[in-house]
């Protein structure tokens, strides 16, 4: 059994930073994870890249050779990945053992997890390879200070949830930037009633019916709750990691990989 996190979320929500902080945290706690770059446009990495989509295809080449812009180019790269998925994953996964833990750092284009099937097919392949996979959706905490932004963040998360059909964990990133924690607290686990009244206050009366439907939708999918993540705090990273581990049953049926302690290491 392998384990995997698929780290998704809007552009700039902090996915790559999360992956590198998670990697460092695991180094410190002597646990082994492998971070995979699935972003054909990425250039700099703060983590050692275990597998890299750019070895299959890079955005720069696609833009130059096909004359595409950055977004069209990225979609082309992901379609190319989809076409070559079986061979690429088959070859790359050969380097990993049965109980390895992979973290996939995905691109930020929202279409990837709302419209096109590439990530879903990717996940299906991982599942066939006996991986337990969890979607980790990052939303910038700056979205949480306004109810209308919060609702749109929830809708994007929901469409990823529906499209991927995976255990799904929502993370509120960049908590260090939130000066007043009370501003976001009410959105971590909101009640439909509170959401509705906040929405109605923000919007013109003709939206009342739509607001009611949206608030109920968020409530019905009670999985739309968020875990705050403050990367300055190891305890916060550990909490998020344990939560995700629990979702993918890591540690329950695996030989948990702890690095041998080497006093020379530090």
Ligand X SMILES: Nc1nc2c(ncn2[C@@H]2O[C@H](COP(=O)(O)OP(=O)(O)OP(=O)(O)O)[C@@H](O)[C@H]2O)c(=O)[nH]1
157 touches ligand X by CB under 6 A? no
Strand partners, 168: 135
16 touches Mg ion by CB under 5 A? yes
In angstroms, the Cα distances linking 219 to 4, 113, 196 are 28, 22, 10
Residue ranges in 97-126 that form contacts with ligand X under rule CB under 6 A: 107-108
Q: Which of 4, 6, 14, 122 binds ligand X (CB under 6 A)?
A: 14
11 touches ligand X by CB under 6 A? yes
The region, left, alpha or beta by phi > 0 then psi within -120 to 50, assigned to residue 60 is alpha
Which DSSP state fits 110? T
Q: How far apart are CA 139 and CA 72, in angstroms?
A: 24
Q: How far apart are CA 121 and CA 127, in angstroms?
A: 10
Instruction: Pick the piece of the chain touching ligand X (CB under 6 A) from 47-55, 144-152, 168-176, 210-218.
Output: 168-176
Contact pattern from residue 38 through residue 67 relative to ligand X, giving x for each residue in contact according to CB under 6 A and a dash for the rest: -x----------------------------
Smallest distance from ligand X to CB 91, Å? 25
Strand pairing class (49-52; 101-105):
unpaired
141 touches Mg ion by CB under 5 A? no
Instruction: Pick the piece of the chain touching Mg ion (CB under 5 A) from 14-22, 68-76, 124-132, 214-222.
Output: 14-22
Smallest distance from ligand X to CB 173, Å? 5
Instruction: Pick the piece of the chain touching Mg ion (CB under 5 A) from 15-23, 43-51, 202-210, 228-236.
Output: 15-23
Q: How far apart are CA 53 and CA 78, in angstroms?
A: 9
Instruction: Pick the piece of the chain touching Mg ion (CB under 5 A) from 12-20, 132-140, 159-167, 191-199.
Output: 12-20
CB of 140 within 8 A of CB of 17? no
């Amino acid at each position: 059994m392998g384990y995997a996190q698929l780290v998704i979320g809007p552009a700039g929500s902090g996915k790559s930073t999360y992956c590198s902080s998670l990697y460092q945290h695991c180094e410190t706690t002597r646990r082994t994870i492998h971070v995979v770059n699935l972003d054909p446009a990425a250039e700099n990495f703060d983590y050692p890249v275990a597998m890299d989509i750019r070895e299959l295809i890079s955005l720069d080449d696609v833009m130059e050779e096909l004359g595409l812009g950055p977004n069209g180019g990225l979609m082309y790269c992901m379609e190319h990945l989809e076409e070559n998925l079986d061979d690429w994953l088959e070859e790359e996964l050969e380097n990993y053992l049965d109980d390895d833990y992979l973290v996939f750092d995905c691109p930020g284009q929202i279409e990837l997890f709302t419209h096109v099937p590439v990530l879903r097919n990717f996940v299906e392949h991982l599942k066939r390879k006996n991986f337990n996979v969890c979607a980790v959706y990052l939303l910038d905490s700056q979205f949480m200070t306004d109810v209308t932004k919060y609702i749109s963040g929830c809708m994007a998360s929901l469409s990823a949830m529906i499209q991927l059909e995976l255990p799904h964990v929502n993370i509120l990133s960049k908590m260090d930037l939130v000066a007043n924690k009370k501003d976001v607290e009410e959105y971590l686990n909101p009640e439909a009633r509170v959401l509705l009244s906040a929405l109605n206050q923000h919007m013109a009366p003709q939206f009342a019916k739509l607001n009611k439907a949206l608030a109920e939708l968020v409530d019905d999918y009670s999985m739309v709750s968020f875990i705050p993540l403050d990367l300055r705090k190891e305890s916060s990273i550990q909490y998020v990691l344990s939560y995700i581990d629990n979702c993918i049953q890591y540690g329950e049926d695996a030989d948990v990989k702890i690095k041998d302690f080497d006093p020379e290491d530090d």
